[in-house]
Amino acid sequence: MRSKTNWDVKTIKMKKSNEEILSLNEAAKFLCASKSFMYKMTSQKIIPHYIPGGKRIFFKKSDLEDWLLKNRIPPSSEFETNTECYLSNPLKTRNNG
């Protein structure tokens, strides 16, 4: 049976309420991004992150997932369907100014 290494223990301790906490390296790997990109995004406060004690940067995996899905671009078929619904709704009034 494999014994737990320090890394395994740290990973277990970093989980809180089924919320996975990622280091900068782990977050970069999760996003398929470079460390320099991650530093840039955190310094510009574009991506949610945590700096306990003012040193190391950590991320909640759920925050990263939410950030990834933040600016959804709908497919053109969905846009066309929504446009047809809007235009066919008799309750909408349009200003023919």
Calpha distance 29→22 (Å, rounded): 10
At residue 76, the pLDDT reads 81
**pLDDT tens for residues 5-32?**
444 445 545 555 567 999 999 999 999 9
**pLDDT tens for residues 48-96?**
999 998 889 999 999 999 999 998 888 887 777 777 777 777 765 555 5
At residue 83, the pLDDT reads 73
Calpha distance 66→57 (Å, rounded): 18
- In our burial notation (b when 16+ CB lie closer than 10 A, e otherwise), range 30-63 reads ebeeeeeebeebbeeeebebeeeeeeebebbeeb
Band of pLDDT at residue 44, cut at 50, 70 and 90: very high
CA 73: distance to chain centroid? 15
At residue 7, the pLDDT reads 45
Which fold is adopted by the domain 6-88? Multidrug-efflux Transporter Regulator; Chain: A; Domain 2 (1.10.1660)
